[in-house]
Chains A and B, each alone.
Chain A
Amino acid sequence: MLYESYFKKPKDIAGVIAKVRDLAKMTGPVRLMEICGTHTMAISRSGIRGLFLPEIQLISGPGCPVCVTPSGVMDEIFKLSDHKNIVITSYGDLLRVPGSRRGDSLLRRKALGAHVVDVYSPMDALALARKNPGKEVVFLGVGFETTAPGTASCLLEAVRQGVENFSILCLLKPTEPALRTLVESPDFNVSGFLCPGHVAAVTGSDAFAFLPEDYGLPAVVSGFEGADLLCSILLLMEMLADKTPGLVNEYVRLVRPKGNPAAQEMIRRVFEPVTCEWRGLGMVPGGGFKIKDEFSDFDAARRFHLTWHEGKEPAGCRCAQVIRGSLAPGQCPLFKTVCTPQDPVGPCMVSSEGSCAAAFRYEL
């Protein structure tokens, strides 16, 4: 069937791998960065990371929305969960994330009696609010342009239905400002980018044209199957070998150059850009989405007067460098010694998409 034959088992995979290896002889050592947590996991799970070592290093950038959420924000969320009348709803990823104190998490708070519900969609959270009019239901909106339109449309639906006990803590982030901050940071050392296919499905592949145009870095918008990633690596290597950095869309079955205009309009309608802290990158101008003033009734940050200071990293935690790609997980002194998925110190280990968790679970 389609699922088996096309996406999962491409025809000439050995040929693609051989071509990449040949190109690596021409380019010399290169470092390619993926900036999407799902890519991180797909590369590790399919065993691609080890295929081209040592010539091609595949490193993970700030692509996991959980990993770049500052610890100070988590501390505020924990405080919010103390209120008996508040139900916290969240994607599963966020439930294990510690704040500035090790061992604390929404899962732990839940076991101690806090109302914490994991949902697949913000609409599930809205439905929960309608069913429990006596409770305040807060949805933790995390993610990039991928989850932003769904969160925006849920907020508009809450407005339309007049659901007064529902609000969103908006932790959403646009990708471009953070990528620019990353590329301009002093320790940046990457030869090309694997760009996130799902973000590009919303923004359009053209949204990543600034990488070759402004910085001379080749970029390929990639799908998420192992075969997609192998083909994308080949495309990047061809551009590096030819010294012709450009933008290529490998994920043509889903991504258009201009993306999804309706989803983009939804984002513009509800959110505005704001300077925002990214774990690992610090304050990023325009690096966050904020709920517009006209919807402030549905903004949990304003409803519950939440503020957070720049987060303090746990002692010894090098997640910030790992997120920038300047340190490999294995180079962090805490990796596998005190920091494990069972007892994570930093977000790169706790999130299933984090590069440390991926390295711990999958790397030989």
Chain B
Amino acid sequence: MDDIITLDYGSGGIKTSDFIDNLLVPAFDNTPLNKLADGAVLDGAERLVFSTDSFVVSPWKFPGGNIGRLCVCGTVNDIAMAGGIPKYLSLSFILEEGFKMWDLKEIIASIADEAKKAQVMIVTGDTKVVEHGKGDGIYINTSGIGILKNPRLGKEYIRPGDGVIVSGSVGCHGASVMMARSGLLDGDGPLRSDCRILTDLAVAAQDAGNVRILRDPTRGGIATVLNEFVEDSPLTVELNETAIPVDATVASACDLLGLDPLYCACEGRMLAVVAPEDVPSVLDALHRLSGGEKAACIGTITQKRPGQVILNTSLGGRRLLGKLSGHQLPRIC
């Protein structure tokens, strides 16, 4: 194979076959995929969860992960948050002509590694190549199917008095990507993406108590997702700033870049609204798992200001916490 991606790899011809046979099939080796049909035929007749996500992160590699890990975690976590056990993934690349084969191999190895951890099979896929200058190196789309285990999850199950739990410190992924993008992070420091599979944490939480809704706060951060929980409802999320776990490295990076950790993306954190009596047992279950050690109850559901999220600040003040408006832009000073 060539040392860079050329348009030929997206042609559907011999080079495409080369790419699939030599790179993809060995990496994701399994029966439904190995047939290399247009779509994968899957076993099972249960209720399914199906999700898809596209990944365009730049730079493609950042401290704590890369676009390969991200594209597995993203879709797998979406399925887990919907009450499913993730089983199968599709994988589609849009590659820019000139992208280095060496880098692509690293990404594919990460995908294989993460898929193994998530216990999912990559069973179908596609590769397109666009001309140099018409892409940003690499874009990936993954779609996933899972078996539904918990059909009783959703906004409609949230009640006043419920607790709001986050599975770990917030904003690590967004802050580390922004630092990497600004050339301020070389990967050796303690600031790393939180990118990880959430299936185990989601299952543990649901086994430990009555969970009303689960979401992974990716784009827009926890502030945006919590708003989505209550918008157009008579309910309020009331958060306590001092209870929200934010790593000092993330807080410092955000101060430096003019960002707010509550709006920074997480790629390995889970928000759960839990029945009040089950908050201690769910927290206890999360604390026992790797990646859930810093789980905390950060607020409660009330009816004080319908459809809004309120933050009780560490100085004793109160303010609104709205949804992210546009993308976060760095500030002057």
Interface residues of A (CB under 8 A from B): 1, 3-4, 8-9, 13-14, 17, 37-38, 44-51, 65-66, 91-93, 95-96, 118, 120, 142-143, 146-147, 198, 226-227, 230, 341-342, 352-353, 360-364
Residue of B nearest to A94 (CB): B332
B1 at the interface (CB under 8 A from A): no
Residues of B within 8 A of A51 (CB): 315-317
Please state if B319 and A93 are interface contacts (CB–CB under 8 Å).
Answer: no
Residue of A nearest to B330 (CB): A92
Q: B310, B316, B322, B333 — which one has the most chain A CB atoms within 10 A of its CB?
A: B333
Taking A38-B333, A118-B329, A341-B325 as contacts, is the C-beta distance between A44 and B319 under 8 angstroms?
Answer: yes
CB-CB contacts below 8 Å: B143-169 with A: none
Please state if A92 and B331 are interface contacts (CB–CB under 8 Å).
Answer: yes
Q: Report the tally of A-B residue pairs with Cβ distances under 8 A.
A: 101
Please state if B314 and A9 are interface contacts (CB–CB under 8 Å).
Answer: yes
Residues of A within 8 A of B313 (CB): 45-47, 226
Please state if A45 and B319 are interface contacts (CB–CB under 8 Å).
Answer: yes
Supplied contacts A47-B313, A65-B332, A120-B257, 14 more A-B pairs, CB within 8 Å: A4-B251, A17-B315, A47-B312, A47-B319, A49-B319, A50-B317, A66-B332, A93-B332, A95-B329, A96-B329, A143-B333, A352-B329, A352-B331, A363-B320
Please state if B320 and A17 are interface contacts (CB–CB under 8 Å).
Answer: no
Query: Top 8 A-B pairs ranked by shortest CB distance?
Result: A47-B317, A92-B329, A47-B313, A92-B330, A341-B325, A362-B319, A47-B319, A226-B315
B311 at the interface (CB under 8 A from A): yes
Residues of B within 8 A of A143 (CB): 332-333
In angstroms, Cα B320 to Cα A44, docked, is: 9
Main secondary structure on chain B at its contact with chain A? loop
Taking A3-B248, A4-B248, A341-B325 as contacts, is the C-beta distance between A364 and B320 under 8 angstroms?
Answer: yes
In angstroms, Cα B252 to Cα A361, docked, is: 22
In angstroms, Cα B315 to Cα A230, docked, is: 9
Interface residues of B (CB under 8 A from A): 182, 248, 251-252, 257-258, 260, 305, 310-320, 322, 325-326, 329-333
Please state if A91 and B320 are interface contacts (CB–CB under 8 Å).
Answer: no
Please state if B319 and A363 are interface contacts (CB–CB under 8 Å).
Answer: yes
In angstroms, Cα B182 to Cα A26, docked, is: 50
Please state if B332 and A91 are interface contacts (CB–CB under 8 Å).
Answer: yes
In angstroms, Cα B317 to Cα A342, docked, is: 26
User: CB < 8 Å: which of A8, A13, A198 contacts B333?
Assistant: A198
- Name 19 A/B residue pairs within 8 A (Cβ), A-sorted: A3-B251, A8-B314, A14-B316, A45-B319, A46-B315, A46-B319, A47-B312, A47-B315, A65-B332, A91-B331, A92-B330, A120-B257, A142-B332, A146-B333, A226-B313, A341-B325, A352-B329, A353-B331, A364-B305
Please state if B330 and A118 are interface contacts (CB–CB under 8 Å).
Answer: yes
In angstroms, Cα B328 to Cα A157, docked, is: 30
Smallest CB separation, A34 vs chain B (Å) = 14
Residue of B nearest to A7 (CB): B255
Residue of B nearest to A91 (CB): B332
Please state if B248 and A1 are interface contacts (CB–CB under 8 Å).
Answer: yes
Residues of B within 8 A of A1 (CB): 248
Taking A1-B248, A364-B310 as contacts, is the C-beta distance between A91 and B330 under 8 angstroms?
Answer: yes
Residues of B within 8 A of A8 (CB): 251, 314
In angstroms, Cα B325 to Cα A9, docked, is: 28
In angstroms, Cα B252 to Cα A96, docked, is: 26
In angstroms, Cα B332 to Cα A362, docked, is: 20
Smallest CB separation, A109 vs chain B (Å) = 15
In angstroms, Cα B320 to Cα A363, docked, is: 6
Residue of B nearest to A143 (CB): B332
Smallest CB separation, A21 vs chain B (Å) = 12
Residue of A nearest to B333 (CB): A146
Please state if A342 and B325 are interface contacts (CB–CB under 8 Å).
Answer: yes
User: CB < 8 Å: which of A48, A49, A93 contacts B331?
Assistant: A93
Please state if B326 and A342 are interface contacts (CB–CB under 8 Å).
Answer: yes
In angstroms, Cα B333 to Cα A198, docked, is: 8
In angstroms, Cα B218 to Cα A78, docked, is: 33
Residues of A within 8 A of B312 (CB): 47
Residues of A within 8 A of B320 (CB): 361-364
Residue of B nearest to A358 (CB): B319
Residues of B within 8 A of A342 (CB): 325-326
In angstroms, Cα B229 to Cα A363, docked, is: 20
Residues of A within 8 A of B182 (CB): 120
Residues of A within 8 A of B330 (CB): 91-92, 118, 120
In angstroms, Cα B313 to Cα A17, docked, is: 14
Taking A93-B331, A143-B332, A364-B305 as contacts, is the C-beta distance between A47 and B316 under 8 angstroms?
Answer: yes
